[in-house]
Amino acid sequence: MTKLHSKLIWVILIALALFVAYLYWMPGQKNDTRRGQASVAVSTAKVQTLPMIRSINSLGTGISNHSITLVAPTSDFITQLNVREGKAVKQGEVIARLHDVQERARVTELEGVLDEQRRQLDRLKNLATTQATAQSLLDEQQTKVNTTLAQLDIAKAQLAEMTIAAPFDGYLGLRQVSEGAYVNAGTVITTLDDLNILRVAFSVAERHLADIKVGMPLNVTNAAYGQLKFAGSVSAIDTRLDPVTRSITIHGVIPNKDLRLRPGMLLNVQLELDNRQALQISEKALVPQQQKQFVYKVGADDTVQQVEVTIGQRIPGWVEVTSGLQEGDEVVVEGIQKLRSGLTINRVGG
């Protein structure tokens, strides 16, 4: 009986020892488990100062810087035609000349009449100094001179119309008539375009109006040249918006010395609204809460703290940070859903 009691006591003692050991062992296991759970796998990135470029895209149409259609001002035969299709001409260069024999003869006739009338006027002025003639005769002769001068100006203007010259430097289009042909007033002879500078007309929504200024840079592309960009700038902003589309028309100018761009082309326009250096982070790092924005900032001991930030402009994939972070700070960009302040992270990925 005594032996049985002794065995029972030993069993109880061993059970108590095991229970005490269990009590000491379990908290350690829980702490180890917590420490394992606190190391969260995430991807991080540094806060960087990068170009903040905001732009809008639109479809535009190419327009000549200067463009006219050269037409016959009157009806007559073409005696001279200098249309070299597609070739450059200088301002004042003769493009065509109409039969102008009558107009030249009229100018010569009036010039002769004017010379004679002026001589008579001079004689009357000399006589008037000795009061040998009446003032009325002098006035009458002066009127004749003035009338002839007016007729001569008209005749010279009619003669000038018979010569069609280039009003500006440009490139001639296709010839529509032949030398020697009889043309009526208004008949198209050819076209003249200044292609060294191409204008592009495009429309943007009214919400962008406050951001657009004359001189802003733009780029255009065209299907004929793939992704090759042609640089230009905004030259004019329309004073009115379209009341139907609520858009405004913008004109840009693009240097075109190589003549690759042509009037009428469909152009893809990219207008640069803003281009400056700004502190930026990935949009994926943001944690919106109500009306505020937060990020998880990584500390020196690889623990994270939730930090409030103020953001500025956004571009696809990136957001400007105006306060709350400094350049070089490390923030979590992936794995945010598993985080809370104080947890330790394990960096994975790029």
pLDDT score, position 99: 92
Q: Judge whether residue 157 has pLDDT over 80.
A: yes
CATH number belonging to domain 41-51+277-347: 2.40.420.20
Domain formed by 56-63+192-276, architecture: Beta Barrel (2.40)
Query: What's the average model confidence in pLDDT over 156-171?
Result: 91
At residue 33 the predicted structure's pLDDT band, cuts being 50, 70 and 90, is very low
CA distances from 7 to 12, 15, 19, 21, 39 (A): 9, 12, 18, 21, 48
Which among 270, 269, 260, 329 is positioned nearest to 299, based on CA atoms?
329
62-80: pLDDT as tens digits = 999 999 999 999 999 999 9
95-130: pLDDT as tens digits = 999 999 998 999 999 999 999 988 888 888 877 776
pLDDT score, position 31: 46
What is 40-107 written as a DSSP string?
A: EEEEEEE-EEEEEEEEEEEEEEEEEEEEEEEE-SSSEEEEEE---TT-EE-TT-EEEEE--HHHHHHH
Domain formed by 73-98+163-190, architecture: Beta Barrel (2.40)
Q: Where are the domains of the chain?
A: 41-51+277-347, 56-63+192-276, 73-98+163-190, 100-162
What is the overall mean pLDDT for the chain?
86
